[in-house]
Amino acid sequence: EAGVVQSPRYKIIEKKQPVAFWCNPISGHNTLYWYRQNLGQGPELLIRYENEEAVDDSQLPKDRFSAERLKGVDSTLKIQPAELGDSAVYLCASSLSQGDGYTFGSGTRLTVV
């Protein structure tokens, strides 16, 4: 069984440019999460989906960040425009339900220069 698949693995962009990250969760996992992890810190939740519905986006900086999970399967996280402080690892995770442990993808390491 394939795990959570994320792409790209690495991304370097100039500030003010847009960037998008893609995630394909484990088949059958209804719950999908996007987390951001800064160096030496724990992951911080950006948004959680139950199927195609965003049920917790309270920590998503909505002025520049957006996300979608149109068919309740794969998901895209976008930043436009990117700022220097957005440099981090963006992790996607999925679970069967809210009560289960998460399976994380390998992450996208974003560097904004």
Partner 1 sequence: GQNIDQPTEMTATEGAIVQINCTYQTSGFNGLFWYQQHAGEAPTFLSYNVLDGLEEKGRFSSFLSRSKGYSYLLLKELQMKDSASYLCAVRDSGGYQKVTFGTGTKLQVIP
Report yes or no: 72 and 25 within 8 Å, Cβ to Cβ: no
**98 belongs to the binding site for partner 1 (CB under 8 A):** yes
Report yes or no: 89 and 108 within 8 Å, Cβ to Cβ: yes
**22 belongs to the binding site for partner 1 (CB under 8 A):** no
**107 belongs to the binding site for partner 1 (CB under 8 A):** yes
**30 belongs to the binding site for partner 1 (CB under 8 A):** no
Smallest Cα–Cα separation from 30: which of 76, 75, 91, 79? 75
Give the Cα separation of 109 and 87 in Å (integer). 8
Contact segment (CB under 8 A) with partner 1 among 17-25, 50-58, 62-70, 72-80 equals 50-58
**58 belongs to the binding site for partner 1 (CB under 8 A):** yes
Least Cβ distance, residue 81 to partner 1 (angstroms): 27
Smallest Cα–Cα separation from 110: which of 2, 42, 14, 5? 14
Binding residues vs partner 1 (CB under 8 A)? 40-45, 48, 55-56, 58, 91, 98-99, 101-107
